[in-house]
Structure 1
Amino acid sequence: MARIILQNSDINIDINKESRLTTGFISDREVLKKRSKKYLDLISGLDSKTLSHTKGINELIKAIQEEFGTAELSSLPIGIVAKCFLGHPYEVHTLDLSGSQIIKHYKASETMDADFEKARTVAQHNAYAMVEVYKDKIILIREDGTATKL
């Protein structure tokens, strides 16, 4: 027969979303949640809007932090690859989240970093708004924010 070891009414067990995220680990279930419109709009606007101003970059960083909460750096994407709409000769652009949030546009003939190159072909497909690149997986994001693991 089980017996109660702790007889303390002050113990409060709360298993809400915020308490699960304080560990800093993002499960596949969390990674596959639908992305917010704000996040999608900021990423899709990398071609049409200039983010060279401090306000633009800060807004982008804030949106990424809001999207992924308190996750550890190892659980966050190392970057994002998306189709580039600047026109020929550019085909994709990356947002490198591993260090300094550098936005770079790639021409058709340019090779990308190995981690991003594996997402290049999928990012060019019209079915996806962007591709989040992680160290151990690729997450495809559709226009409506739904996510699929590759």
Structure 2
Amino acid sequence: MVSSSGRQLSVEQLRRRRSSSYVDALRKLDTGGPVSATGIDAIRDAVAAEFPDGPASWPLGWVSKCYLGAPYEVHIVDISGHIIRHFKRGEAMPGGMERARSLAASGRYAAIEVFSDRLVAIADDGTTSVSMG
């Protein structure tokens, strides 16, 4: 598995259960309004705790179901660029995020981590499911 910087991550690392604080931080993104700099920092801190090898091991971004209502379907998070963006049904997502759309839109997962060559679906309880993406 290759991270955003090309660093190799093992399948065991990807399959590791995610902490409740990490899952909670990702869930706070769908608040219906802009996320403050403090909110982004909290998410960044949760990601840093979850991926202690540093930003080189972080996903390219995250895709989650959007609960803002029609016409929005999913949103993406790219904390390296402090980007949180909501996407309407059928609106194309950038940077390889599109491949996670159907998993995220299903609502079965808290979030989908998008790596260069894999998707990691994170359940509400932190369990993971790794797939080629």
How high is the TM-score relative to the length of structure 2? 0.85
Q: CA offset at residue 48 of structure 1?
A: 1.8
Q: 1:110 aligns with which of 80, 91, 110?
A: 91
Cα distance between partner residues in 2 of 1:43 and 1:104: 13
Matched, 1:123 2:99: no
SS at match of 2:96: helix
Counterparts in 2 of 1:25 and 1:66: CA distance versus 1, 3 Å: farther
Counterparts in 2 of 1:116 and 1:68: CA distance versus 1, 3 Å: same
Which one has the bigger strand percentage? 2
Matched, 1:134 2:115: yes
What per-residue deviation string (whole Å, max 9, x for no partner) do you get for residues 20-78 of structure 1?
xxxx75321011111111111111111127563222111111110000111461x3210
* Aligned-residue RMSD, C-alpha: 1.8
Pairs aligned (count): 125
Give unmatched runs, 5+ long, in structure 2. 1-6
What per-residue deviation string (whole Å, max 9, x for no partner) do you get for residues 85-119 of structure 1?
0111100000024x313000000131112511111
SS at match of 2:112: strand
Contact 1:129 1:141 in 2 (8 A): yes
Cα distance between partner residues in 1 of 2:49 and 2:34: 18
Higher relative contact order (CA 8 A, sep 6+): 2
Aligned residue runs from structure 1 range 1-80, under 5 A: 25-48=8-31, 52-71=35-54, 73=56, 75-80=57-62
Matched, 1:92 2:74: yes
SS at match of 2:81: coil
Contact 2:29 2:35 in 1 (8 A): no
Deviant stretches of 4+, over 3 Å: 49-52
Q: Specify the structure having the higher radius of gyration (Cα).
A: 1
- Amino acid of the structure 1 residue aligned with 2:49: E
Cα distance between partner residues in 1 of 2:37 and 2:96: 27
Aligned residue number for residue 143 of structure 1: 124
Cα distance between partner residues in 2 of 1:125 and 1:56: 25
Q: Percent identity among equivalent residues?
A: 36
